[in-house]
Amino acid sequence: MHSFFQVGNVRIGSGDLFLIAGPCVIEDEEHAIRMAEIIKGVTRSLEFPFIFKASYDKANRTSIRSFRGPGLKEGLRILKKIKDELNLPVLTDVHETADVGKVAEVVDVLQIPAFLSRQTDLVVAAALSGRAVNIKKGQFVAPWDMRHAVEKCRQAGNSQVFVTERGASFGYNNLVVDMRSLAIMRKFAPVVFDATHSVQLPSSQANDDGPAVSGGQPEFIPVLARAAVAAGVDGLFMEVHDNPKEAKSDGANALESTTLRGVLKELLAVKRALAEAHATP
């Protein structure tokens, strides 16, 4: 069984529930800071450990015309400001091995995007940085095969690795979540459930007149999140936005920030109920 490790004030794999949350992409400095402040306020009042996330570059957008973010230099400057001024651990994606060193100087967790979860050089480079590594399970990868991605990190000398479930491709433009995968992967690493990408409908709003964009079913975010906590995950991943309809990336599957408190309270209630059931002879 894997052991827990610390990222800032967040214990990963200890049995404590934690949250990774923020906007999909850094839209601008003011918005990123505002979202970090909003989510921190909610999580602090609920004593829910929190890692802020946002991407400086969404390199795998469907359309060449889609917004990708501010880029490496500006994005890292903003993430560092959030980390230092709000005293928060931060997470961001890395897509290129050449970026790993610079990113690791700023962030606490390097995230391997789902589409790149089998890219050995990228996974190993992230592991060698010494930072914690979150490997998102590819939509095309069986849960038991994620053991190999985890082992790449550990063979590189880094045991601070966890995996995130974000749904599996179910035909075209649809994802489903097999809750069995959470238990399967938790046998070899801490597991996070991505409650927002799991309700994404990839590229489902593509058309001939504008950029292809993904749709989503955000009404199912609380449903799947509760189920994942009941299944025994270590943490939750949610893309949270104060105005999803105007979000520059993944707005269709983002959680509206005013609903975050209610969702997290439900998750804590599920967690407590499980603990009470296990404690009762």
* pLDDT on residue 201: 78
pLDDT over 70, % of the chain? 95
Nearest Cα neighbor of 161 from 12, 1, 9 is: 12
Domain count, the chain: 1
Whether 117 contacts 143, CB under 8 Å: no
Pairing of strands 5-7, 90-93: unpaired
State the residue range of the domain holding 180: 5-279
Lowest-confidence pick of 54-63, 118-127, 210-219: 210-219
Span 13-41, mean pLDDT? 97
* pLDDT on residue 213: 62
Higher pLDDT, 101 or 65: 101
What is the spatial distance between Cα 169 and Cα 189, in angstroms, rounded to a whole number?
22
pLDDT in tens, 148-194: 999 999 999 999 999 999 999 998 888 999 999 999 999 999 999 99
**Phi, psi dihedrals of residue 244, rounded to the nearest 5°:** -55, -35
Q: How many residues does the chain have?
A: 281
For residue 159, what are the CA distances in angstroms to 22, 70, 268, 270?
Answer: 25, 31, 28, 29
pLDDT at 19 > cutoff 80: yes
Identify the sign of the CA torsion 211, 214, 219, 221: negative
Q: What is the CATH number of the domain that holds 10?
A: 3.20.20.70
Lowest-confidence pick of 117-121, 128-132, 250-254: 250-254
